Chain A
């Protein structure tokens, strides 16, 4: 009797010790991962004289807004933000409209060559993006779209991911909905617009968020297409500031904070959706 109780308590201790260990490791990693942010935010408010100090100041002895002020008044930061919004927002909207229409016509309509189109879409998953950048650039240049919003947006729209996700979702919507709607005299477009799209709202929302974040952050393609400083997106603009000579660490940190702020707000509000979009992407492409 006593034997078994001691054994039980020692096992309990073992379990709780292990659980404590897990907690320490997990929170330790979380702290390590957060440190670069916190440091960045702290430094973005520090006056120049502390920034070059070899000893880091976690809590600045003096707070200044000079870096933010400079960015908002002396640089093209506002213009870059507008560019990024137009490109990320425009690409997202077009992707949603085009991809949902393609997916709808592939799953709900009958026309010859459907399987070929689906085959091309699936095959294009296998084509790594970088294989295409050089010829893609010449295509965009031939169309006269270098240095324009469209030059960035159009290739971004040609992403098979959205079609693939929506295809899977639309395919699983029962035919009865559609038949009932036809009996009520709905046209094909009404079925698309009033039946299928509302049913697909959660997955459309996930896709939209994912695409917005993705296009907001896009780096290589805008770097190639946009040559004029006033046409830059935020990622390109801030690298340009960094590689220019006029900058100080405080400015770099302020620009990273400002450039990430919209995404962090989106992330805070839609965390679940974004994570789900990533998971759907992960399970969708394996399954």
Chain B
């Protein structure tokens, strides 16, 4: 009831000029919502913002997570402490994460700009610059979520049979060769899983711009879900919001298929 029905109803709504008060009076407008969407500059800005955010955050989330997992898997002291620290931001709510970083990024009294002040005379406003705001949100997101990937990669790495590495060593393989020929293929499934999950999650970025930048400065951190939220719940254009949701889903399905094709058949 809360899964299948809304999905069907959402498509139905997206074909209407939805009237929230008298739903039965809603006007059927066919694909007009979708057509309007494709001619809507705000939608395209939100699309660009979302893609930019994904392009910044997902590679970092995967590479840093993998690097940390392979590092901790080595003979390192205090593995448990490291694991606890890396994973800990993940348990925070995104609201807390953004509030913490609002202080770190603050232009006038923030931590980063204080230390940057030693090396440059005029440190930038991280959240007030159109160029830097989105990277700042992406970096904060990596801090928040990388522990999830780390934990999954660590489990995957630990289930790779050690004898494969022994065999590689006997063959005189370098560390890099062992990584490329043993670690990567053996961990392919978890890498694929993490990449797809992160694409899907990061494409739906909402709270970071909603809380920290309200999409600004000048729309530079607007995202699709944030636009969906505004359309449906601030402007009460439910049909339009539902249409954005459907476009979002199409994109996500496409990304999942591409990922499967690229990583999944890389034998």
B2/A282 in contact, CB under 8 A: no
Q: Decide yes or no whether A165 CB sits under 8 A from chain B.
A: no
| Interface size, chain A (Cβ < 8 Å) | 79
User: Can you name 17 A-B pairs with beta carbons within 8 Å?
Assistant: A22-B71, A22-B74, A35-B111, A36-B104, A54-B108, A130-B248, A134-B228, A135-B5, A135-B6, A135-B7, A135-B13, A137-B238, A158-B3, A236-B95, A249-B109, A259-B96, A275-B151
> Is A279 interfacial (CB 8 A cutoff)?
yes
Render B1-12 as a binary contact track against A, CB cut-off 8 A, 1 for contact.
Answer: 111111101100
In the bound complex, do residue A26 and residue B87 qualify as a contact, i.e. CB atoms below 8 Å apart? no
CB closest residue in chain A, given B81: A30
A33 / chain B contacts, CB cutoff of 8 Å: 85-86, 88-89, 143
List B residues 193-245 near A (Cβ within 8 Å). 193-194, 200, 204, 206-207, 211, 225, 228-229, 232-233, 238, 241-242, 245
Nearest 7 CB-CB pairs, A to B? Answer: A158-B2, A217-B93, A135-B10, A282-B152, A135-B6, A235-B95, A135-B9
A128-B252 CB under 8 A given contacts A238-B95, A278-B152: yes
Chain A contacts of B238 at CB under 8 A? 134, 137-138
State whether A129 and B91 are in contact (beta carbons under 8 Å apart), knowing that A27-B82, A124-B4 are contacts in the complex. Answer: no
Report the Cα distance A56→B103, complex, angstroms: 11
Report A-chain residues with C-beta under 8 Å of the C-beta of B96: 235, 238, 256, 259-260
A139 within 8 A of B: yes
A22-B76, A54-B108, A275-B83 known; A217 vs B193 contact (CB < 8 Å)? no
Does the CB pair A238–B192 fall under 8 Å? no
Q: Could you tell me if B6 and A139 are in contact, using CB atoms closer than 8 angstroms?
A: yes
Within A47-106, the residues touching B (CB, 8 Å) are 51-56
CB contacts under 8 Å to A, within B49-98, are: 68, 71-72, 74-78, 81-89, 91-96, 98
**In-complex Cβ contact of A220 among B71, B77, B206, B246 (8 A):** B206
Nearest chain A residue, comparing its CB with the CB of B104: A36
A128 touches B204 (CB 8 A): yes
Known: A23-B77, A139-B2, A278-B152. A242 touches B102 (CB 8 A): yes
A151 CB to closest chain B CB (Å) equals 11
Interface residue? A191 (CB, 8 A): no
Instruction: Kindly count the residue-residue contacts between A and B in the assembled complex, taking CB atoms under 8 Å apart.
Output: 219
Q: Is B114 an interface residue (CB 8 A)?
A: yes
B15 CB to closest chain A CB (Å) equals: 12
Q: Are the C-beta atoms of B245 and A282 separated by less than 8 Å?
A: no
Residue numbers of B with Cβ under 8 A of A are: 1-7, 9-10, 13, 20, 23, 68, 71-72, 74-78, 81-89, 91-96, 98-104, 106, 108-109, 111, 114, 117, 143, 148, 151-152, 155-156, 189-190, 192-194, 200, 204, 206-207, 211, 225, 228-229, 232-233, 238, 241-242, 245-246, 248-249, 252-253
Find A279's partner among B6, B7, B76, B155 (CB 8 Å cutoff): B155
Residues on B with beta carbons closer than 8 Å to the beta carbon of A26: 68, 71-72, 76, 82
Contacts of A29 in B (CB 8 A): 68, 86
A residues 18-44 in Cβ contact with B at 8 Å: 19, 22-23, 25-27, 29-30, 33-37, 39-40, 43
Residues of A within 8 A of B5 (CB): 135, 139
Q: Are A127's CB and B85's CB within 8 A?
A: no
Contact among A35, A53, A131, A218 with B246 in the assembled complex (CB-CB below 8 Å): A131
